[in-house]
A = this chain, B = another copy of it.
Amino acid sequence: MRIALDAMGGDHAPGPIVTGAVEAVRDRSDLTVVLVGDQGRIEAELAAHEVDRDRLPIVHASEIIGMGDKPVEALRKKRDNSISRCWGLMASGEVNAVVSAGHTGAMVASALMNAKMFLPGVRRPGIAAIFPSHQGPIVIIDVGANMNAKAEDLYQYGIMGSIYAENVLGISEPKIGLMNVGSEEDKGNELTRTTRTLFQNGPHAGRFVGNIEGRDIYEGNARVIVCEGFVGNVLLKSGEGAVEFLFSALKQELSKLLPAIGPEASHKLAASFKELKTRFEYQEFGGGPLLGLRGACIICHGSSGARAIRNALRVAGTMAEDRVNEQFASQLKAALDVLPGA
């Protein structure tokens, strides 16, 4: 298993990115992580670790796409950037997967530029995000790859999300729901009504649980929730914002109480909160998969630390395994055959 890792992507790159790669190759003995980016800076980071350098080769890229860059423009102007180099390795078959905590827009735009890399029948890849729920992790797709989704796109996202949930997250026959504004059949807009019909008439009809409202997401009754990219992006980022806001308010409240609680219990309380906050940071899954490609791709949060990168490499490795690729090919074909015009 070979994975290209954008060593320059992320708020704190390349330090924690390289550390995550070092840990990942220790976790899995058949893994090689190709570190893509500034050779000198990567070498300097690697020097701090005792590691088999054959399993962490470097592919030099002289440019970096910054978080403030406009993706399409930057991809055109900065030809030798680390993101494009990663996708180049994927296109030429040198790696089975790509992982980056860099510019999400540039990652997606770069992937979309080469339709030959799409799985057969896929109209447009979508980004999934992993949310927590009372039943365990759930997949929400699309969270921002596609700003002009048609019902056929949403239908494909549901199928791909469910293959991911089953084969990577280990959820048996995951239920699929449609993000909507109410539970009744005719709720929402033209897009949701058409999408609903596609699911009801497709081979996954038995797993389709219909509309999911915002407040029901965390119940986990649907383990895959399909939504249009704009809605998914707002959902993902506003969830992060709400959790941050709540924790900052909690911190304030707790600081008032700590004197009354005593040092030992205060310490336990602080540790317990830290653990809880981590649960919401999705670091367990390292980031969100870009689904619909030949080969695996995980897009990590810009603030990813070594732990998130290590987990992303683990998940990308699972996603790129032959058996998962076979599932994508066969389940997608069965599901896409029912689409109008297929």
Binding site for B on A (CB under 8 A): 70, 105, 132-134, 144, 147-148, 179, 181-182, 184, 186, 188-189, 213-219, 227, 229-231, 233-246, 248-250, 253-254, 256-257, 260-262, 264-265, 268-269, 272-273, 275-276, 279-280
Contact = CB atoms under 8 A, between A and B. Distances in A.
Contact of A134 (B133, B245, B262): B245
Contacts of A253: 272-273, 275-276
Given A70-B186, A213-B237, A235-B235, 7 more contacts: A70-B184, A147-B189, A214-B236, A231-B234, A254-B272, A257-B272, A261-B262
B181 A234 contact: yes
B276 A249 contact: yes
Tallying the copies of this chain within the complex gives 2
B237 A256 contact: no
Contact of A239 (B132, B214, B254): B214
A276 B144 CA distance: 32
Contact of A280 (B217, B233, B236, B246): B246
Contacts of A227: 234
| For the complex of A and B, 5 pairs with smallest distance between CB atoms | A214-B237, A214-B238, A218-B245, A215-B241, A181-B233
Q: Which of A244, A245, A272 has the most CB of B within 10 A?
A: A245
A283 to B, nearest CB: 16
Contact of A234 (B235, B244, B248, B272): B235
Contact of A243 (B133, B242, B262): B242
Given A257-B272, A265-B260, A265-B265, A238 B241 contact: no
A238 B239 contact: yes
Contacts of A269: 257, 261
Q: Which of A133, A134, A234 has the most CB of B within 10 A?
A: A234
16 contacts: A147-B188, A189-B230, A214-B233, A214-B238, A215-B244, A216-B241, A218-B242, A218-B245, A219-B241, A227-B234, A230-B231, A231-B231, A238-B238, A239-B239, A253-B272, A261-B261
Contacts of A257: 265, 268-269, 272
A179 B239 CA distance: 14
A244 B216 CA distance: 10
A282 to B, nearest CB: 13
A272 B255 CA distance: 11
Nearest to A70: B184
Contact of A261 (B213, B218, B265): B265
Q: Which of A261, A262, A268, A273 has the most CB of B within 10 A?
A: A261
Contacts of A186: 70
B260 A268 contact: yes
